[in-house]
Structure 1
C-alpha cells in the first residue's frame, strides 16, 4: 500500500475529534459574541437615555393639548384676532412686550423675586394664572383665604369687561389688600380674582388651572372670563416658565463623579454589566432558597409605634403626611368600590362625585404637595379624617336607602 493510500485511510479516523473541537470553539465564540452584543445594546440604551430630552409640556402651556394645557384658550384668543406670542425665556418675553401688550404667565417657579419684578415691570397689563403665595407677597395683592361657598359666582365688581362673563366656579380665594379690587367674592368677602390698578399698569391674579385648562375651559363662563382677562389688547406675550430659564444658581460640592472624566462612569457600568453577564453565562445555578423561622416574633403594633416615634423624633412632617395619605387612599378606595391600583386623582374624582364637592380641593388633599410643618400636618390629618368620615356616612346612607 502506498503512502497516499495510508493517509487517505487514516483521515476518516481523525475527522470526528476535529469536528468536536471545532464545535466547542464555535460555541465559545458564540457565547462571547452574545455577551458583546448585550454590552453594546446596554451602551446604546444608556446613550439614548442620556441624550434624549423630555418633550412634555407643563400646566397651562399654550402649546399643550393635554388636559392641563391651555391650547384651547390660546386658539380662542387667536380666533378673536389677538396675536399670541409664546416666549419660553425672560429675554424673549421682555423683547416681545409692546405698548399694547398683555403679559400672561403661570407661576414663575424657577425665577427669583427680583427676576419676577423685572419681568412684570415693563408690562402695562399683566395676568397671573396662578395662586402661589409667593406671588401674592411679591405683588402685594393680598393673602390666601378659605372659601365659604362652593356655588358658582358672578363677578360682583365694577370692571366693565366682566359684565357679560356670567358665572364661574373658582377653586381658590384670596383676601384683597388695600386698594386691590376683588371679583367673584363669597359671603365673607374672599375674592377669586384680584385686580390692582393702583399704578399706571394693571396686574390681575387668578387661579387658572381649574378655569382655563383644556379640561375645564368649556364649563360655565370660563372661556368668556379668559377672553375678558387676556383679550383686552391686540397682542399677548405668553411667558412659559421652566427650569432652563431659571436665574437661581444652585451650588453643589464637588464629588468623585464631578472630578472624574465623563466617560469613567459609563465605562464602569459597562464593565460591571459584562462581569454580571459572564458570571451568569459561566456560573452554576443557585440552589433552592432555605426557609428559616425568625427567633423573635415582632407584633405589627410595635413596628408601627417604633416608626411613628422615629418620624416624630426626626420632625419629618412630609413623611408622616405621606403615610397618613397612603392609608386614607387605601381606605377610601375600598369604601368607594375602587381597585387597590386606583390613582389618587381617580379616588379624588370618585369622592367628589359621591360628596358633590369641587374636585380641585380633593385633588390637592389627596395628590397635592405634602405639608412641611407640624401645623400643616395636623390640618392635613384633620381634613383626611373628615373626608373619610364623610365618605363613610355617604356610603352607609346609600346602602341603607331602600
Structure 2
C-alpha cells in the first residue's frame, strides 16, 4: 500500500474567477436614476402654479417679483407676504394695499370676502372671469407699443412709458391709463374703494422690471400706502370643491397592483442576474468590407429614385462649401456667408453675389438641379484656378 504525502497532491494555483461587479453597479445606477426621475416628476406634478414663482414676491426666478418687493422696501414700504386668506384678513388695515395676482384658486364668494376689508386693491395679473366679476372692463385689442399714462391719475404722472402686452376696455366710471383713450393697460376703479387692474407678468417680473418705466409703475401702484399685504394664491388655500376623477387604480381589482409590483420585482431580479453574464465589448472583424464608393452610389440611386432634387442640391452645396472653405483657408464648418465672401474676394467680384448660389432656394426639378451642379462646378474651378501660381519663364 503506497502512502501519498500531502506534498505530493497537486496544488491548484489558478486564481479564482473574478466576479464582474461592473454590470451589477450599472443596473443599480439605472435603478437609482429611475427612482430619482420618478420622485422629481411626482414633486413637479404635485406642485401648484404658485410654486413656479409667477410674480411671487419671494421668488428669485425670472418670472418672480422679488425685485419689486425689495424695491418697495427700499422706498420705506413694509411688504408682508401672506399665503392664506385668513392671514391676509388679519394683516390688512386702513393704511394697507392688498396686492395679488389673478386669484383663480378662489370662488367668487371667497374673493368677495378677501376684498371686503381692503380699501385699496391692486391686481397684478387678471383673467376674463376676474374682469367680469369686478365689472371693471373687458379685454381689448391693440399693438404692443410704448404707451404713456395719458390719464388724470396723479400717481402715474412721473412713470414715463411702458410697453404692455395686454389692453382692457374700461367699464363706465372706470379710468383707463397707458392706452389710446378707448383702451388702456391699467384700469383704475374708484367706485368701490380703489381697485386697480393691470397685466403685469411681463412688466413686474424680475427679468423685466428694469425695462422702460416698469419699476416706476410698480412703485406708483404699490407705493401709495405705507404697507403692502401681498397675497399669493395657491391650491393649498383654495375653497373650490371638486370630485377626484376615477383613476386606473380605483377601476381595477385590488389584486392587480400587488401583481404588477411582483412582476416588476421579478423583472428587476432577472435583469440583475442575467446582467452579470455580460462582459466587456469584444471587437470583431466584419466578414464583409463595404467601400465608401458603394455607399455613395447607393445613396445617389435612392435620391434619384425618389426624385428628391432639393435634398440632392443641399448635398451638392454642402460639399462645395466644405471644399471651398478648405481651398480658401477657412474652417471646415465655416458658415455660408464667410465662404461666399471669401470666394468673392478671391474672384475679385462684389460681395453678396455668391450667397444665392451657395444657399439659395432649392431647385424644383432635375433640369434646375443640373444647372445648379454646373454652376457650382464652375465656381470651384474658378477658385482653384486663382489658387494656382503661374510658372516663371526663367
TM-score (norm 2): 0.60
- Asked if 1:161 corresponds to 2:160, the answer is no
Aligned counterpart, 1:353: none
Aligned counterpart, 1:59: 54
1:107-118 matches, cutoff 5 A: 107-118=102-113
| Runs of at least 5 residues in structure 2 that lack an aligned partner in the other structure | 287-336, 338-394
Alpha carbons of 1:255 and 1:231: their partners in 2 closer, same or farther (altered >3 Å)? Answer: same
CA contact (8 A) 2:161 2:212 kept: yes
- Asked if 1:8 corresponds to 2:2, the answer is no
| 1-structure distance, mates of 2:148, 2:233 | 31
Aligned counterpart, 2:189: 196
Alpha carbons of 1:153 and 1:248: their partners in 2 closer, same or farther (altered >3 Å)? Answer: same
Alpha carbons of 1:35 and 1:275: their partners in 2 closer, same or farther (altered >3 Å)? Answer: farther
Q: CA RMSD in A?
A: 3.8
Which protein shows a greater Rg? Answer: 2
Aligned counterpart, 1:93: 88
> How far is 1:156 from its partner?
2.3
1:122-201 matches, cutoff 5 A: 122-147=117-142, 149-187=143-181, 189-199=182-192, 201=193
> How far is 1:123 from its partner?
1.3
Aligned counterpart, 1:221: 213
Alpha carbons of 1:65 and 1:267: their partners in 2 closer, same or farther (altered >3 Å)? Answer: farther
Counterpart secondary structure, 2:97: strand
> How far is 1:168 from its partner?
2.1
- Asked if 1:120 corresponds to 2:115, the answer is yes
- Asked if 1:233 corresponds to 2:216, the answer is no
Alpha carbons of 1:32 and 1:88: their partners in 2 closer, same or farther (altered >3 Å)? Answer: same
Alpha carbons of 1:65 and 1:255: their partners in 2 closer, same or farther (altered >3 Å)? Answer: closer
Aligned counterpart, 1:103: 98
Cα deviation per residue 1:2-23 (whole Å; 9 max; x = unaligned)?
7351x331243xx26xx57x53
Alpha carbons of 1:95 and 1:33: their partners in 2 closer, same or farther (altered >3 Å)? Answer: same
1:272-287 matches, cutoff 5 A: 272-282=267-277
CA contact (8 A) 1:174 1:191 kept: yes
CA contact (8 A) 1:88 1:240 kept: yes
The count of corresponding residues between Structure 1 and Structure 2 is: 278
CA contact (8 A) 1:62 1:69 kept: yes
CA contact (8 A) 1:35 1:278 kept: no
| 1-structure distance, mates of 2:22, 2:154 | 79
| 1-structure distance, mates of 2:266, 2:240 | 38
Counterpart secondary structure, 1:66: coil
| Runs of at least 5 residues in structure 1 that lack an aligned partner in the other structure | 289-336, 338-402
| 2-structure distance, mates of 1:36, 1:211 | 49
CA contact (8 A) 2:95 2:226 kept: yes
Alpha carbons of 1:271 and 1:31: their partners in 2 closer, same or farther (altered >3 Å)? Answer: farther
Aligned counterpart, 2:334: none
Equivalent of 1:41 in 32, 35, 42: 32
> How far is 1:228 from its partner?
1.1
Alpha carbons of 1:268 and 1:251: their partners in 2 closer, same or farther (altered >3 Å)? Answer: farther
CA contact (8 A) 1:73 1:212 kept: yes
Aligned counterpart, 1:345: none
> How far is 1:125 from its partner?
0.8
Aligned counterpart, 1:318: none
Alpha carbons of 1:270 and 1:91: their partners in 2 closer, same or farther (altered >3 Å)? Answer: farther
| 1-structure distance, mates of 2:211, 2:29 | 53
CA contact (8 A) 1:39 1:273 kept: no
| 1-structure distance, mates of 2:35, 2:206 | 38
Cα deviation per residue 1:102-131 (whole Å; 9 max; x = unaligned)?
111112232233322222222111100113
Aligned counterpart, 1:82: 77
> How far is 1:134 from its partner?
1.3
Counterpart secondary structure, 1:27: coil
User: For structure 1, which segment, 173-182 or 33-42, has the greater mean C-alpha deviation from structure 2 after superposition?
Assistant: 33-42
TM-score (norm 1): 0.58
| 2-structure distance, mates of 1:268, 1:166 | 67
> How far is 1:62 from its partner?
1.2
User: For structure 1, which segment, 99-108 or 164-173, has the greater mean C-alpha deviation from structure 2 after superposition?
Assistant: 164-173
